Amino acid sequence: MLSGCLIRIPAITVGIHDAQGGVPLAILTISRQIGSLGDEIAEALSRKLDWEQINRNQLIQRFFANNTDTREQHLLNESAKFYLTQSRAAGTYLDELERSLFALAQKQSAILVGFGSQIIFEGNKDALHIRIVAPEKVRISRIRRQFRVSESEAVRILETADKKHKRFVSTVYGADLSDFSLYDLTLNTASLSVDECVAAILAIQQEHNERLKIEKESEQSESIDHQSDLPVFKNPSEAEFARILDMYQIDWKYEPKTFPVEWDAEGNVTLAFSPDFYLTKFDTYLELTTMNQKYVTGKNRKMKKVRDLYPGTNIKIVYKKDFYSLVERFNMGSDSYEGDTK
């Protein structure tokens, strides 16, 4: 029977995949204040991920160079209102920009810097939106060093840039650039280095990808994704096993998914299996069993059904003796234990 845990049915979303439908593609949007180190962070991310970084100038060159003249390109660079005027193609320049960006996102992963890309990709689960900020005082100091200008000159540069960014997003998208709900993650570089920010973004991006993978698998099959449920272990053995996985630095998720395995004549689920752990890096589901053999037989039967109904699902049972072997290993502290330790 279905367990009593809360089941969340995910909203259906259109995902981004590469041209072969294989490795999922992703978009990172970076919105940054001038003097916030946002460009440096985008550059470092681009190197680490080996993803193309695209800012406003590159975007204009890439999407509009062939179908606009010099005057139009100048206006695309300088005027927010111009994006809302009729382009040579169907719709406005903004429509054309959005179409081009969506097409790009179908082909490759990318880091989009500025131009309100967080709004274009708002609600797209394959996109993560990052805002990089810093206190005004810190930004002025950085602008002074970067442009070798006086403090008053730095203040002027800062105010002009902030006003221009705000106006662009407000005019083109009718949105407020400083609205926190536009971003998944906001980083303040007052005391965070570029490397620290990059590490934080990479960590959240990896975790996000792993969660999306399960969510998308659930959308494509009858299985049910409930990753948003809080992990509440059903018994101490599960908590102990989670600790063992942590010791081996093996990333896991607790009961991220339910696999329906039997249905009645009306299509209602009558039997389902929610494996205890999912090892994200090894694409393996583990079901822990520390109970009597008669229950193990039932679990084996369910596991076989999961394998039959959901081909390609890698699922295993951790048997009582193996579980206690692992627990004992840590209690013994011997490196000569008869098992995996050497």
Please tell me whether residue 235 binds another protein under the rule CB under 8 A: no
Query: Which CB sits closer to another protein, 9 or 332?
Result: 332
Please tell me whether residue 50 binds another protein under the rule CB under 8 A: no
- Residue 273: HSE in the Cβ half-sphere, 13 Å Cα cutoff: 25
52 by DSSP, 3-state: which?
Answer: strand
Among residues 75, 200, 279, 309, the one that binds another protein under rule CB under 8 A: 279
* Burial class of residue 192, CB neighbours in 10 A (0-12, 13-18, 19+): middle
Query: Which CB sits closer to another protein, 155 or 244?
Result: 244
* Footprint on residues 296-315 left by another protein (CB under 8 A): 314
3-state SS of 162-192 is HHHHHHHHHHHHCCCCCCHHHCCEEEECCCC
Tokens of 86: 């009729």
Please tell me whether residue 331 binds another protein under the rule CB under 8 A: yes
Q: Where are the alpha helices (DSSP H) in the chain?
A: 38-49, 56-64, 70-78, 93-107, 117-120, 136-147, 151-173, 194-220, 236-247, 293-309, 320-332
Contacts of 199 (CB under 8 A, 6+ apart): none
Query: Which CB sits closer to another protein, 221 or 284?
Result: 284
How many residues sit close enough to another protein to count as binding (CB under 8 A)? 30
Measured in residues, the chain has a length of 342
Cα–Cα–Cα angle for 283, 288, 293, nearest 5°? 135
Torsions phi, psi for 219 (to 5 deg): -70, -30
CB of 319 to another protein, least distance (A): 8
With CB under 8 A as the contact rule, which of the stretches 139-147, 194-202, 259-267, 323-331 interacts with another protein? 323-331
With CB under 8 A as the contact rule, which of the stretches 122-130, 131-139, 173-181, 246-254 interacts with another protein? 246-254
Among residues 7, 250, 296, 309, the one that binds another protein under rule CB under 8 A: 250
Please tell me whether residue 326 binds another protein under the rule CB under 8 A: yes
With CB under 8 A as the contact rule, which of the stretches 140-148, 153-161, 185-193, 237-245 interacts with another protein? 237-245
CA 178 vs CA 24, 77, 142, 215: distances in Å: 30, 22, 21, 30
Please tell me whether residue 249 binds another protein under the rule CB under 8 A: yes
Query: Which CB sits closer to another protein, 174 or 312?
Result: 312
Residues found near another protein in the complex (CB under 8 A): 243-245, 247-250, 279, 281-282, 284, 286, 314, 316, 318, 322, 326, 329-336, 338-342
